[in-house]
Amino acid sequence: MLLPSCLLALTFASIQVYAQLSLPSPPWLPANASAGAVATTGSNTSVPNEQWSTLLGDLLYFYEAQRSGKLPSNNRVSWRNDSATSDGSDVGLDLTGGYYDAGDYIKVSFPLSFTLNSICWGGIDFGMGYDLSNQTSYLDSMLRWGLDWLIKMHANTSTLYVEVADTGIDNAYWGGDQNIPGPRPSFQINDTSPGTDAAAGVSAAFASCSYLYYGGTLSPTTIGKSSVNSTAPASLKNTTYADTLLIHAVELYELAVNASGGMTLYQNSVPEVQDSYASSGYGDELVMAGLWLSLAVNASQNANSTLNITTLSPQQYYSLAESYYSQFDLAGQNSVFNWDDKTAGTYILFAQMSSLGFEGAGNFSQWQTEAERYLDVVVDPSSSKGDASLTKGGLLYYSGDSDDASLNPALNAAMLLTRYAASGLCSTNDKKATYLSFAQSQLDYTLGNNPMFVPYIVGLHPNSPINPHSAMSSGGDDIGQIDTSPPLSQGNTYVLYGAVVGGPDRFDRFFDIRSDWVENEVALDYNAPMLTLTAMHIVTDDTDPYFTQVTVGANEKVKPKGQPCDDAIQDGCSGHRLSEGGEIALGVVLGVVGLVVVGLLAVWLWKLRSTGSFGGKA
């Protein structure tokens, strides 16, 4: 299916971007971890709750610690430095800025686009949480640092840079941000060497964030205990910046759909991303981008935008999204919602748009049915033959997807459940209660209601992880001594406040070992669902988050001995206990074998008795 060419009346260089919101002075800074063990309920039962607000601030602060390029004068992370200030020089461009994707120093457009899309979506649905906690200016700053870099990466209408730095070189380095090794090559997709998923994914990020900056909304109901409009987007409306983002969204969707090289996965054009962020498909990105473009273009028209953009109508973008949804057979899936697969998110967005009576949107009951089919399996994974189950501690766990970062799939599912239920879309009140309860269980697990008594966010509580897999915060400079310099007992040299770590294994065990990137690595997309969930709770919750209930030091009493068994560390795999499914299978086998042995023994005894061969008298 071909999308008619989109003619933009103004070039990128002619667009004047309004300045971001002014940041507080003095700046907001994270509290010491000890503050996370102090309850506020009783002395403060109003909205916003102080501890929820602190959590939101910490989560945003993490992104500031991940910044690349020349840092601004109002940088809050004292131990960070200017870094990678020549990125893009190999291709004659300025590709500095943006965010380091995880615990290392590569910068990748595809997973960042998902992160920004997720956070902007949360800012649309629960943006009042940022306003109430006085974090909206930091949200604005965080978004622009990523979006402005993606604008640089979209070098012209038919070119998008998708990675800066060589993954192999980067993986061989462990140290601070002032000695990052080179070269740091720049990799692109373009009209002849396309990447449908990457182009459409970044288009979705630009379009969703454009809708946020237009002041768009998706929630038909009011939630929470605040006296203000709790479903309003975050107060950072800026039509000029929204216009800028929309131009890039439109052009990249055009590249995704109409590239002369056809539609293809971006790793086919850029093999260098195969070992870092390879994609499994592009139908989901095409649908997601089409939906957000329909919303953003509609908002642009309603805002009387000064940019004369000749493009498709909102209804045409929506129709394209529906067509790709059918073409790529996205209905009926139970896949994890993450940076690679956005399918589940399309169910929720379709439902939100149709519930608002968006012109051209499908029948709400159709999308309500599809969304609830998916979410029903999430809250009751045993009802499906899929790969999901609950750990003994109650964490939603997807075999495969959760093996390399257990918390992220669960938190993304909780985010979708919360968004759908809190927006008043559920078919019954019982279903709404079930969805919110399950989402809360996953959030509480992350915040300390787990067998390890660990809130899995760095710097939040005395029991929080102290050894995140982060080269820049570790303070070490020897890749062969990651776990000894500094010693694990001392923790990283610098506290990476607000970082959500990968999480425990399928047996709910967490070892807090720095080299174990499976359990301890941090990443841009790990924090994204926590931001949205926290913003919602700031609006709706006057009670403390769960981490204030966690007993300080309780984690030390249950900390597992030895080593984990995962893709990062194999030392703990010898004699490692079977999975729950394996234990069940082994139990069945042993049970059958036992019955056979007992049966044979009975036959043998009967024969002995009948022949008088017991050694007694005949």
Query: How far apart are alpha carbons 65 and 469 in whole angstroms?
Result: 14
Query: How far apart are alpha carbons 224 and 422 in whole angstroms?
Result: 9
Nearest to 114 by CA among 299, 333, 386, 344: 344
DSSP assignments along 43-85, one per residue: T--SSSPHHHHHHHHHHHHHHHHTB-BSPPTT---TT---B-T
Nearest to 122 by CA among 525, 582, 450: 525
User: Is the CA virtual torsion 349, 355, 361, 365 positive or negative?
Assistant: positive
Residues 545 and 536 sit within 8 Å (Cβ to Cβ) = no
Structure letter (DSSP) for residue 573: G
Structure letter (DSSP) for residue 424: T
Name residues whose C-beta falls within 8 Å of residue 334's C-beta, 6 or more positions apart in sequence. Answer: 374, 377, 384, 386, 388
Which of 521, 525, 541, 566 is labelled catalytic?
Answer: 521
Task: Establish whether the linkage from the previous residue to 181 is cis, with ω within 30° of 0.
Answer: no
Query: How far apart are alpha carbons 150 and 107 in whole angstroms?
Result: 11
Tokens of 612: 């008088």
Tokens of 185: 């090559």
Tokens of 421: 């239920």
* C-alpha torsion angle, residues 521, 524, 525, 528 (rounded to 10): 120
Concerning whether 512 is annotated as a catalytic residue, the answer is yes
Nearest to 226 by CA among 161, 317, 133: 133
Concerning whether 94 is annotated as a catalytic residue, the answer is no
Task: List strand residue ranges (DSSP E) for 231-291, in order.
Answer: none
Which of 140, 243, 512, 516 is labelled catalytic?
Answer: 512
Tokens of 520: 């301890």
Tell me how crowded residue 301 is: count the other CB atoms within 10 A of its CB. Answer: 12
Residue with tokens 């519930």, as numbered in its chain: 355
Query: How far apart are alpha carbons 156 and 191 in whole angstroms?
Result: 11
Tokens of 9: 């009346």
Residue with tokens 């990476």, as numbered in its chain: 496
Query: How far apart are alpha carbons 135 and 128 in whole angstroms?
Result: 10
DSSP assignments along 172-195, one per residue: T--S-TTS--S---EEEEESSS--
Structure letter (DSSP) for residue 36: G
Residues 533 and 415 sit within 8 Å (Cβ to Cβ) = yes
User: Is the CA virtual torsion 525, 531, 534, 540 positive or negative?
Assistant: negative
The strand pairing partners of 83, in sequence order, are 69
Q: Give catalytic residue positions.
A: 512, 521
